[in-house]
C-alpha cells in the first residue's frame, strides 16, 4: 500500500474588478513605477462590496469540480485556507459546503495566512493517507482588500483578492518519487516573529484591525526560509533541485521569487509567476498560480512541482508533488 494524494482537478476565480497600480496614484504618494519595480505587481483584483471570501471560494470550487468531472457530493471533505473568512464562525468551508449543495462529509478552515494553502494541502494529504477521506476539495480564498489600511502605501498596494481550488484524490502509487501526487511536505512556524506581519485587531481584542507589516524584515526572512523549506521537502521526497520542473511559489513579490529561485540554483523559466496580475492574494496565491500555470500549458501531467510559501506567524512550508 503506497497511497498518494493526487491532484485530479483544479480551477480558480478572480473578482471582476481589476485595479491597475495607476489607480493608487490619485490617493497615495506612490507611482506605478515604484510598485512595479519594488514588487513586480502591475494590477490586482478586488472583490465587489457584496462579494465575500466564501463566494470566491465557491466559484473556484465549482471550476475544480468541473475540471475533475465530479459533483460536490463526490467529495468527502472541504479544507479552506483563509485568514479572511466571511464571519468569525461558522467556517468559510461550511459556507462553501452549503453553497455547493453538498449534504455529506465534513468541512473546516485552516489559518496560516500566506502559508495557508501549503498547510491545507498537508492537512488534506494527512486525511487521505490516514483513510479519513478519499477525495478532498482544497481551497485557498481571500479578500485581503477588507483588511487594508488605505492610507498605508507600504502595504495597501501589495495585496489582492481571489480564490483557487483543487481536488486531491487517494490513489495507489508504487512508493517511489516517480508516483503522481504529494511526495513530501515540510511545515514550520516561529511565533516570535509575530510583529513582522499581523492584523492589529480581532474578535477577542474587540477591535477592527488592519494588516501591518515590516516589509523589509519579512523580505529578509523570506528568501532564506523559502529556499530552505523547499530543499528540505525535496530531500524528504528523495529528490534534488535538478529534478524540479516547476516551482510554484507564493506570489508576494517578484524579488522574493527571483531571490528564492537563485538560492535554489533554479532558472526563472522553471518558475510560475502570476504576481504581476494578482498581487499578493495570501492563501489563494498558490492555487491561483497552479491553475493559471496549468491553463498556460506550463504544468503538465508527470511534472515535478514544488510549492513554497511564507507569511504571518511567521509560518512557512513547502509541498513537493508530481502533477
Ligand X SMILES: CC(C)(COP(=O)(O)OP(=O)(O)OC[C@H]1O[C@@H](n2cnc3c(N)ncnc32)[C@H](O)[C@@H]1OP(=O)(O)O)[C@@H](O)C(=O)NCCC(=O)NCCS
Among 253, 260, 274, 307, binds ligand X (CB under 6 A): 253
- Under the binding rule (CB under 6 A), the answer on residue 274 touching ligand X is no
Q: Residue 114 interacts with ligand X (CB under 6 A)? A: yes
- Element holding 93 (H helix, E strand): helix 92-99
Closer to ligand X by CB, 59 or 278: give it: 278
Q: Are 169 and 302 in contact (CB under 8 A)?
A: no
d(CA 18, CA 2): 44
- State the minimum distance, in angstroms, from the CB of residue 215 to ligand X: 3
| Residue 219 is a binding residue for ligand X (CB under 6 A) | yes
Contact status: 58 vs ligand X (CB under 6 A): no
Least distance from C-beta 69 to ligand X, angstroms? 34
Which uninterrupted H or E stretch holds 278?
helix 275-278
| Contact status: 251 vs ligand X (CB under 6 A) | no
3-11, 150-158, 167-175, 182-190 -> range binding ligand X (CB under 6 A): 150-158
- List the one residue from 215, 235, 263, 276 that touches ligand X (CB under 6 A): 215
Helix (H) or strand (E) holding 257: helix 254-264
Strand partners of residue 37: none
What letters, b where the CB count within 10 A reaches 16 and e where it falls short, cover 240-267? ebeebebbbbbbbbbbbbbbbbeebebe
Residue 192: which residues within 8 A CB-CB, separation 6 or more? none
The upper half-sphere exposure of residue 134, i.e. CA atoms within 13 Å in the direction of its Cβ, equals 5
Q: Which is nearer to ligand X, 40 or 173 (CB)?
A: 40
CB-facing half-sphere around the CA of 184: CA atoms within 13 A = 20
Q: Does 108 bind ligand X (CB under 6 A)?
A: no
Choose between 159 and 323: whose C-beta lies nearer to ligand X: 159
> Coil, strand or helix: which one is 255?
helix
Active site residues: 114, 250, 280
Taking the least distance from each CB to ligand X, the nearer of 6 and 158 is: 158
Between 116 and 181, CB nearer to ligand X = 116
Distance CA 303, CA 246 (A): 7
Judged by CB under 6 A, does residue 252 bind ligand X?
yes
Determine if 38 is a binding residue for ligand X (CB under 6 A).
yes
Considering beta carbons, is residue 11 or 311 the nearer one to ligand X?
311
Short-list 146, 163, 56, 145, CA closest to 99: 56
- Taking phi over 0 as left and psi of -120 to 50 as alpha, with beta for the rest, 140 belongs to beta
Name the residue number minimizing CB distance to ligand X: 215
Q: Is 259 in the site for ligand X (CB under 6 A)?
A: no
Q: Give the shortest CB-297-to-ligand X separation in angstroms.
A: 28
Among 146, 153, 236, 270, binds ligand X (CB under 6 A): 153
Contact footprint for ligand X (CB under 6 A): 30, 34-35, 38-39, 114, 153-154, 157, 213, 215-216, 218-219, 252-253, 256, 280, 310-311
Amino acid at each position: 500500500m503506497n497511497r498518494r494524494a493526487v491532484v485530479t482537478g483544479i480551477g480558480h476565480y478572480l473578482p471582476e474588478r481589476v485595479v491597475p497600480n495607476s489607480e493608487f496614484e490619485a490617493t497615495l504618494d506612490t507611482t506605478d513605477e515604484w510598485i512595479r519595480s519594488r514588487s513586480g505587481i502591475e494590477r490586482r483584483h478586488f472583490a465587489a462590496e457584496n462579494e465575500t471570501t466564501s463566494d470566491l471560494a465557491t466559484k473556484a470550487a465549482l471550476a475544480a469540480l468541473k475540471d475533475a468531472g465530479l459533483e460536490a457530493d463526490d467529495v468527502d471533505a472541504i479544507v479552506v485556507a483563509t485568514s479572511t473568512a466571511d464571519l468569525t464562525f461558522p467556517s468559510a468551508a461550511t459556507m462553501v459546503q452549503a453553497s455547493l449543495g453538498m449534504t455529506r462529509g465534513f468541512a473546516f478552515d485552516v489559518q496560516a495566512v500566506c502559508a495557508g494553502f501549503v498547510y491545507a494541502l498537508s492537512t488534506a494529504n494527512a486525511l487521505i493517507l490516514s483513510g479519513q477521506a478519499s477525495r478532498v476539495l482544497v481551497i485557498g480564498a481571500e479578500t485581503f482588500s477588507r483588511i487594508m489600511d488605505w492610507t498605508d502605501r507600504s502595504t495597501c498596494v501589495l495585496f489582492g483578492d481571489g480564490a483557487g481550488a483543487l481536488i486531491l484524490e487517494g490513489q495507489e502509487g508504487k512508493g517511489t518519487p516517480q508516483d503522481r501526487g504529494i511526495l513530501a511536505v515540510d511545515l514550520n512556524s516561529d511565533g516570535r516573529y509575530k510583529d513582522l506581519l499581523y492584523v492589529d485587531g480581532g474578535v477577542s481584542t474587540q477591535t477592527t484591525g488592519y494588516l501591518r507589516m515590516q516589509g523589509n524584515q519579512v523580505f529578509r526572512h523570506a528568501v532564506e526560509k523559502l529556499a530552505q523549506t523547499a530543499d528540505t521537502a525535496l530531500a524528504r521526497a528523495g529528490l534534488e533541485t535538478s529534478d524540479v520542473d516547476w516551482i510554484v511559489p507564493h506570489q508576494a513579490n517578484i524579488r522574493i521569487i527571483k531571490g528564492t529561485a537563485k538560492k535554489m540554483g533554479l532558472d526563472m523559466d522553471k518558475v510560475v509567476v502570476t504576481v504581476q496580475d494578482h498581487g499578493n492574494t495570501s492563501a489563494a496565491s498558490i492555487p491561483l498560480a497552479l491553475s493559471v500555470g496549468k491553463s498556460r500549458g506550463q504544468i503538465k501531467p508527470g511534472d515535478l512541482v514544488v510549492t513554497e510559501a511564507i507569511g504571518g506567524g511567521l509560518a512557512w512550508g513547502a509541498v513537493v508533488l508530481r502533477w
